[in-house]
Amino acid sequence: MKYSYNQNRDGIVFAGVSDINASFKDLCNVCDAVRHKPVSSALHILEEAAKGRIALEFKRHNKYMGSRHELGGKKGRWPKKCAELVRKVLVNASANAKNLGEDPDTMHVVHAAANKTTIVPRRPPKGIRTVRTGGYGYSPSRRSDIELARIEIGIAYKGRQGGAHLQKGPEPKPPKPPEPANAPKAGSKGEKPAKALTKADTKK
């Protein structure tokens, strides 16, 4: 599929990048930090995190991770590389919105996700494969694989139907069916209204 967003896509502008050499676990937590936020606020958070000025909370993939006093005792880190990658994708989504005639400064991040895509297997060099430790202190059975990831960003106006958290506007009224051309119009000239029957007429 093109994007993993499986809800109503009307009014949502997407951007994404695939097969990047970054930790998908860190990317997931960076996406959690900017999801459902205005585009301007999300860009500010990502810029500060990419420079290492603020720490981001890790709600997932935080086993054995220390807590940060900057986050009020919650677990977190400084994912500089992943924050910069997500920021570039968000900038691309804003540029796509501008090309469509929209105003990205008044839009919100309605979709932000990261997934693992491809695993590239790697083995020790040929000359040291037969060494008992496997070379460089690793056993022959241990492999240092490369895990590639994908980032998806979707932005939309807060009042549009893009997800369950958005404010849905009033549903448009169905159009009225067209009247036939030969239908008589009410109050037109040359037509007299029908006369009500009286008791005398019914006796005749």
For 150-155, what is the mean pLDDT? 95
Residue 165 confidence class, pLDDT cut points 50, 70, 90: very low
Name, in order, each residue with C-beta under 8 angstroms of 22's C-beta and a sequence gap of 6 or more: 81, 82, 85, 149
Provide the pLDDT for residue 32: 93
> How far is residue 36's CA from residue 40's CA, in Å, rounded to a whole number?
12
Sequence-ordered strand ranges (E) for 90-197: 107-120, 146-157
> How far is residue 202's CA from residue 196's CA, in Å, rounded to a whole number?
11
Tell me if the pTM is above 0.85: no
CATH architecture of residue range(s) 23-163: Alpha-Beta Complex (3.90)
Provide the pLDDT for residue 70: 87
pLDDT in tens, 48-92: 999 999 999 999 898 888 888 888 899 999 999 999 999 999 999
Q: Is there a contact between 55 and 70 (Cβ–Cβ < 8 Å)? A: yes
Cα distances (angstroms) measured from residue 112 to each of 15, 56, 98: 10, 15, 19
pLDDT in tens, 101-116: 999 999 999 999 999 9
Residue 162 confidence class, pLDDT cut points 50, 70, 90: very low
> How far is residue 29's CA from residue 80's CA, in Å, rounded to a whole number?
12
Provide the pLDDT for residue 170: 45
Q: Is there a contact between 39 and 108 (Cβ–Cβ < 8 Å)? A: yes
Q: List the chain domain ranges.
A: 23-163
φ/ψ of residue 151, rounded to 5: -120, 140
For the chain, state the CA radius of gyration: 31
